[in-house]
Amino acid sequence: MSTSPVLEIADLRIDRESRRVLEDVSLEVLPGSIHFLVGPNGAGKSTLLQAVVGLVDFEGRITLRMRGSGRLGWVPQSFAVDRTLPITAGEFLALSRQRRPVCLGVGRRVRARIDSLLASVGLDGFSRRPVAELSGGELQRLLLANAIDPAPELLLLDEPSGGLDEAATSRLEEVLARLSRQSGTAVLVVSHDRGQVRRLADRVTIVDRAVRRSGSPDEVLGGDAALAPEIR
């Protein structure tokens, strides 16, 4: 597996409404690694992910070095759903997995693939559930299912455990670990869950407008009482 970074961010600066949100942020995300961004609310972590996917303007450099599928998976913290949209969870996933319009039905092979994908994120039997009826946590898992199939080279997640119970969080962590190990996916996660960071992280970066500290979990979180305010 290549050791060259899949994502390289250099000297990133972002202003919003005449206020500097991020300043001179530099970091790398390696293939097959799980890299956590931690820091206080309002520190610019979500904005950083939005810059990578092209949702906000920035100064500096963001370089994606895709060598395989070239696929980027993105799971935002929130996703506005039109509650009048008559589409099921299975049809939502079928939109990008079959050529014929979903209004004409979901093909047998695609349906089997979708059922397996939903089961992998703990949404067994949700194929015919209307998207408008999903809870926030269920919608988050649906977006995760959409993002991980086919396996992306880079997966970005913004507070993926928000709204998830313990069982669903455990399933999420299994999915991320499997993607990094088996598919070589580079994963960049914004999280406030210290336990999750310790269980999964290969690298941790504390962001509070700028990069305050970066390294292995032990280097960043070891003797972490003094760092608690920066991570919450």
Residue 131 tokens read as 């998207």
pLDDT of residue 227: 47
CA pair distance 35, 56, nearest whole angstrom: 21
Q: Tens digit of pLDDT for each residue in 158-186? A: 998 877 888 888 989 999 999 999 999 99
Whether the predicted pLDDT of 157 surpasses 90 = yes
**Residue of 10, 24, 46, 5 lying closest to 156 (CA atoms):** 46
Query: What average pLDDT does the structure give for the chain?
Result: 89
Whether the predicted pLDDT of 154 surpasses 90 = yes
Residue 99 tokens read as 């050529």
pLDDT of residue 162: 79
Q: How confident is the model at residue 80 (pLDDT cuts 50, 70, 90)?
A: confident
pLDDT of residue 62: 97
All domains in the chain, ordered by first residue = 7-81+149-231 (3.40.50.300), 82-133 (no CATH)
SS3 state of residue 59: strand
Q: Which of 47-51, 102-106, 222-226 is least confident?
A: 222-226
pLDDT of residue 223: 57
To the nearest 10°, the Cα dihedral for 46, 72, 137, 169?
-90
Taking each continuous run of H as one helix and of E as one strand, the counts in the chain are 8, 9
Q: Which of 88-92, 141-145, 219-223 is least confident?
A: 219-223
In the chain, the amino acid numbered 56 is: V
Identify whether the C-beta of residue 65 lies closer than 8 Å to the C-beta of residue 5.
Answer: yes
In the chain, the amino acid numbered 121 is: V
- Residue labelled with tokens 């899949």: 6
DSSP class of residue 88 equals B
Q: What is the mean pLDDT of residues 110-131?
A: 92
pLDDT of residue 2: 59
In the chain, the amino acid numbered 150 is: P
Instruction: Please state whether beta strands 34-38 and 186-190 pair in parallel, antiparallel, or not at all (unpaired).
Output: parallel
Helices 136-148 and 166-178 sit at what angle, rounded to 10 degrees? 10
pLDDT of residue 229: 46
pLDDT of residue 40: 93
Whether the predicted pLDDT of 15 surpasses 80 = yes
Q: What is the mean pLDDT of residues 198-208?
A: 95
> To the nearest whole percent, how much of the chain has pLDDT over 70?
95
CA pair distance 144, 137, nearest whole angstrom: 11
Whether the predicted pLDDT of 37 surpasses 90 = yes
Q: Tens digit of pLDDT for each residue in 56-70? A: 999 999 999 988 778
> To the nearest whole percent, how much of the chain has pLDDT over 90?
66
